[in-house]
Structure 1
Amino acid sequence: MKKLIIIGGFGNGTVVQSTVEDINEVIPQWEILGFLNDREIGSINGYPIIGKITKEVVDQYLKDEDVYFFYSLISVKLNFNFLHKLTDLEIPLERFATIIHPTAVVSKYSKIGYGVCIQPFVSIGPNTTIGNFIHIFAQSLIGHGASLDDYSYVANNACIGADVHLKEGAYLGTNATTLEFVSLGKWSITGIGAVVLKDVEDYAKVVGNPARKIGEVSR
């Protein structure tokens, strides 16, 4: 089996861990070596914390070609201001694992990048493009022809219409819905249950039905 190190911990990291366990119950594919985490000590859900999130620790594991990484530290709070925690590690892109839950339905005509986690019962339509370092949470729907740029984030039960474009780091909240052909700007935040009928500006925060701008992400 391939070996996996999850960068992160409680929260998105444990969601990834749970998804990997579900994959292994169907066909064993991954051996989870443990977590890299700066705050916790000991173990997380029975898996050891094998070091802090540093290039020195990562470099030791990169020597083993069977070791892959998953970077889980992307969220509405951990945005572009924290990307240096990833880029400073200098991990080759091809050494990031993409994790797809066995219940997800992913069109064979879609393109999926590196460091992507697709959670239970997600549906991804044909001719979609999913970039790198993207979280797509349970029961979300990605319409045909949609494009999700690097670091974008789709919370559970969100619905992305056909040919929608999530630009770099765009965040789509739980139960949010978009009309087809709209775009969500770079590092924008679309709140819980929002209904997006028109383009969202870069760094904008929008909520409501129809979605309206209420502020901007701090830069």
Structure 2
Amino acid sequence: MAIKKLIIIGGYGNGTVVQSTVEDINAVNQEWDLIGFLNDRETQPINGSPVLGKIDKKTINKYLIDPDVYFFYTLISVKMNFKFLNKLTDLEIPKNRFATIIHPTAVVSKFAQIGNGTCIQPFVSVGPNTKIGNHVQIYAQSLIGHGAVLDDYCYIANNACIGADVHLEEGAYLGTNATTLEFVKLGKWSITGIGSVVLKDVPDYAKMVGNPARQIGSVE
């Protein structure tokens, strides 16, 4: 079976974290040939991997011709939210051409469902009967409780703990060391800050902080 080729869309930050995860995967079993990055600002190699061009449809189509090339989109974070999705959709990359990257130290139940373009980082635990959508970032040492649902574009920072049967709607962000009670819902594109403890449902686009978490504003 041919080694799959990978292009990371992005750069320093989320992109280099994915790059590092790919290196760890390859150290165990050579699965990916990281051929480079697409980046609108950088032209020099990023941690030794070349920048292949800008993030545009012309460049994407050049590489889509090769059926062994896959992509990973990293331009989603607390600062780059739904306003950046038009860049992703404009590229018109087929869903099955987005790579799913899982670190070899992550523990993922065989009864979990993982979408396309999702990255699961070191020492993450994903419980049974979870449903994780497309383009989800789950950072190191996070715990995803059984039956949890993470919709597309969710972002789980390191050491976050998601209780059983919790639902994170599209684009919900859960900060470092944040914790949720079981059965709660985090609304679309909401932001729950560092160390927060979520005991009840979070509205769409809400900014939440504290223990217990309280709303301090809204995402613009």
Superposition TM-score, scaled by structure 2 size: 0.99
The structure 2 residue matched to 1:136, chosen from 138, 142, 146, is: 138
Shift of the alpha carbon at 1:153?
A: 0.5
Whole-angstrom CA distance in 2 between matches of 1:154 and 1:48? 28
Distance across 2 between alignment mates of 1:60 and 1:49: 14
Alpha-carbon deviation of 1:217?
0.1
* Cα displacement (A) at 1:41: 1.1
> For residues 81 and 51 of structure 1, what CA distance do their matches in structure 2 show?
22
Instruction: Give the partner amino acid of 1:156.
Output: N
Cα offsets for 1:89-137 (capped at 9, x unmatched) = 0000000000000000000000000000000000000000000000000
Q: Please give the alpha-carbon distance, in whole angstroms, between the structure 2 residues aligned to 1:59 and 1:41.
A: 19
Q: Distance in 2 between matches of 1:210 and 1:98?
A: 34
What is the aligned counterpart of 1:112 among 103, 111, 114?
114
Counterpart of 1:89 in structure 2 is: 91
Distance 2:84 2:158 in 1: 23
**Structure 1 residue 138: Cα displacement:** 0.0
Quick one: percent identity of the two aligned structures?
Answer: 77
Q: Distance in 2 between matches of 1:60 and 1:44?
A: 21
| Backbone CA RMSD of aligned residues | 0.3
For residues 167-182 of structure 1, what are the structure 2 equivalents within 5 Å? 167-182=169-184
Match among 138, 155, 158 for residue 156 of structure 1? 158
Deviation of 1:42 (Å) = 1.4
TM normalised by structure 1 equals: 0.99
Deviation by residue 1:180-215 (Cα, 9 ceiling, x = unmatched): 000000000000000000000000000000000000
Gapped regions of structure 2 (runs ≥ 5): none
Counterpart for residue 12 of structure 2: 10
C-alpha distance in structure 2 between counterparts of 1:167 and 1:157, whole Å: 20
Which residue type is aligned with residue 114 of structure 2?
I
Report the residue type matching 1:177 in the other structure: T
Which whole-Å CA distance do the structure 2 matches of 1:73 and 1:146 have between them? 24
Which residue number in structure 1 is paired with residue 58 of structure 2?
Answer: 56
> In the comparison of the two structures, how many residue pairs are matched?
218
- Structure 1 unaligned residues grouped into runs of 5+: none
Aligned to 2:195: 193
From 28, 31, 34, give the equivalent of 1:32: 34
1:51 & 1:68 partners in 2: Cα distance? 16
The corresponding residue for 2:219 is 217
- 1:156 and 1:136 map into 2 onto residues whose CA distance is 7
The residue type equivalent to 1:200 in the other structure is V
